[in-house]
Structure 1
């Protein structure tokens, strides 16, 4: 199964392109699923496509009611009033969790291709980074080793006279971690690719640059860039001719972009076949960020991290224990250091040709000494 994640600047037509890609795949005989938060519009009337519309309200309501049931004894002790299902409304962020849940569930389906209509860029990057970040938060807040004291909880509960919720809390954390890990496995899979969609404009180009750096920071690969709603050249209308010229100037900088001409209308249903979008290419294995050994030359190790689209002024780098915190514009990621650099100190870093190169010098207290 392949997964294609589609995003782009707001208003770029990413939902339309996602629907057109799913329709094209179904017409080619692929068992196709489209996951979207669009309630109506471009995703209507897609023959052969299994369309999944997200329902964040239902997922949020079910999750909160389940948590309330598990914490019932503590709530009763505190005199807290129970919430009814009818009064619950989704909170900000419930859309993202509904999307991640659907993405996780897609791994169990019989489909050949799952097309996911993501939120606008660059917010889509933050959504895709959520599973890894939340798993890290869970490990920090509820370390597994603290469960070793579970045998003492009944005793502590009797002494304090208060029900101890730690058991169900750790069980819930383990369940959440397993669900997040399943979602992260789909995002990190070799068969998962990202398709970017944008109308050629200077604002879109800047958004794509920032988004590309964020995707690379989290190890996600861009499969294709779709230049959408490209105006034709040669118009006799001065306004259209000027708009087409400005689009052409930007599109010329998007090397390898696949252009979708403007149809003069908003395509829906059967009209999506007129867009002639390409199917995603064959997946290829992801390669880890390499660590180069230059100890014999200048006594350092170099960790090479591809960050196309990043600029030096927006990069941050912080070493904290066996982890390194990398910032690229609005995005941050906490990455465990490879084995060899853990025994080193950071000797410097630089950005060249879209690649962050972090230099490490061996720590004499940790590095084996040769005689």
Structure 2
């Protein structure tokens, strides 16, 4: 049973400061939204992911529109309207359940996601809550004016999970103005099961929340670096394949598969970061089925393996070493193609070129070399 994810990222988050909506602010070397997105990308059982964006966030539309795992839709006048738009974007998908999550909760754990999904096997709705343990006061003008009984009180968290058709009907019938989707569900008569929340699953609201979130993310962060190097000689032909792009040239490249030296180096860099050998281990060159094969098969496998092992690709840097052909006119198209294969933003991929000052085999025009580095983050 597919579980969709709806991430609400259309808010402005002004209380967090910084001059940017909080979801686009940096956090532990990435942006808040990147951490949140990758937590759900890595979770087992997750199907479609809908990202609700403000119409004016043009850079985000451009970046995330290239991600094949994401469906983008516009935010509404308030949170409830944004959620309704996100639910509408799931029509026609195979999803039967949906997790609705605040993009500003980047520390959500795999365990919590799994607990909410599991609770939907027994209930039409489920949400994490933290039992209130502190004494509760009322106050005015800087002074305590009274106390409140904390018995039976919970601090609400997300992701909040629902049977998809049930929450869609609940939102259609609700007049609006709800604090969260649990309120909408309860107004429609749905029973919402409480699962244990996590203290680390904080919602970034104020400036000081960034420091706490960074401490949480860094304590469990597993950063891996891998490098790849490949060489292919020139032979007869009228083009070369480089980083997934056909580049016109008076010679071709010879070697494993389609001899895409750039894609081979990047693939080996990812395998290296995972301690999973190289292309030859997974796709032996002696196997005739790989003769002339599209190297995208290898790169896609490496990206999928990274996700299966609990890692997300943070960034990739590839340098092509050759005198000719000229790489500059194709570099952006190469980054776009690599991003499409790996399911990450093109802004996370760098493709560039250099010469060897006419020294060595590349300087003599005998072939092309490629050097690549991949950074992976898990946790």
Fold agreement, TM-score > 0.5: no
* TM-score normalised by the chain length of structure 1: 0.24
RCO greater where, 1 or 2, for CA within 8 Å and sep 6 or more?
Answer: 1
> Higher strand share goes to which structure?
2
> Higher helix share goes to which structure?
1
* TM-score normalised by the chain length of structure 2: 0.24
